[in-house]
Amino acid sequence: MNNPTPATPEPADYRDLTAGAGLVDFFDRTQVELRGNDRAKFLHGFCTNEIRRLPVGAGCEAFVLNVQGKILGHVLVFCDPEALVLETVPGQAARLLAHLDRYLIREQVTLRDLGAERAEWLLAGPAAPQVLAAAGAAHIPTEPMSSVAVTIGGEQVLLRRVQLAGPVGFLIDGPRGAHAGIGAALEAAGATRVGELAWQSRRIEAGWPLYGVDITDKNLPQELDRDRLAINFTKGCYLGQETVARIDALGHVNKILVGVRFRTDEVPPTGTELSLGEQVVGHVTSACFSPLLHAPLALAYVRRGENEPGTSLVASTGPAEIVRLPLPETPSS
């Protein structure tokens, strides 16, 4: 799920994610669980958002940082009745667990990789709530990052409201052994399985970055331009806070992740340089063909000062322009 392929999605798949209910297999996504009386206080000290005040059934987006303030993980944090769960791209459990365990001393906290036990589906599109109701979900969360326990396909699952592929989406987190049955129940209720390219196009149109693709451990949190969603500037101390606070006081970082629309039909490969005049000012991290724009669209880091929407740039594939993300949910004219 974290290796975008620069090509055009199947039109039917894209329509399902934008006009119906598209189902994406998230079988191998990372889930790390924290249990114990001190779990909220402990995790609060290792990520950028407010954790201690999360009520049961709520969640937030956050960055996990190292001592230098660089990003070790971009996570969704869900507050379940007896645990906190970090959800992110595949292959991150060992790294996150080792990082947290290193600082675990006397706190009443147990850490666990849920990968062998749990698996997820992503259901996205405006018809997703109706599909969930038809599949037997008694309650459907309406607030972003909220969760409820429901039954689908005879299995108890956690239904989590997210915006990974547009404004209406749900992670359906269930037992790993029941993954296929849960998917089948959703399809029987009206969901349609969609391919990787459609999901990648939607998440880039939504401005959703992936760790290991658009984010690495060389990035600073404010470079992602997700301050409002993922950083709480008034919370107590946490690892890496000094760097985050210093950047906030100075008012800027040197580059920002932005959306870039290309004026030719060629989708730019990862690493494509972006220039303004004679100077290279940025580079592409992931790209797709955007049916909303009828044009290639990329996530790219662009130098501060040249990162405003409407700024014209040039790539090896031709002219380009910075656009605001997420894209409006109406087709481009």
Phi/psi at 14 (5° precision):
-65, -40
The H or E element that residue 320 is part of is strand 318-323
| SS3 category, 48 | coil
* Domains, the chain: 1-28+117-219 (3.30.1360.120)
DSSP of 220-285: -GGGGS-HHHH--TTS---TTHHHHHHHHHHT--SEEEEEEEESSSPPPPTT-EEEETTEEEEEEE
Residue 251: predicted pLDDT: 79
Residue 2: predicted pLDDT: 43
Torsion sign (Cα): 80, 86, 91, 96: negative
**pLDDT tens sequence for the chain (333 residues):** 444 444 689 999 999 999 999 999 999 999 999 999 999 999 999 999 999 999 999 999 999 999 999 999 999 999 999 999 999 999 999 999 999 999 999 999 999 999 999 999 999 999 999 999 999 999 999 999 999 999 999 999 999 999 999 999 999 999 999 999 999 999 999 999 999 999 999 999 999 999 999 999 999 999 999 999 999 999 989 999 999 999 999 878 999 999 999 999 999 999 999 999 999 999 999 999 999 999 999 999 999 999 999 999 999 999 999 999 999 986 543
Tokens 């000094």, residue?
A: 242
Reported pTM: 0.95
Nearest in space to 92 (alpha carbons), one of 268, 173, 213: 213
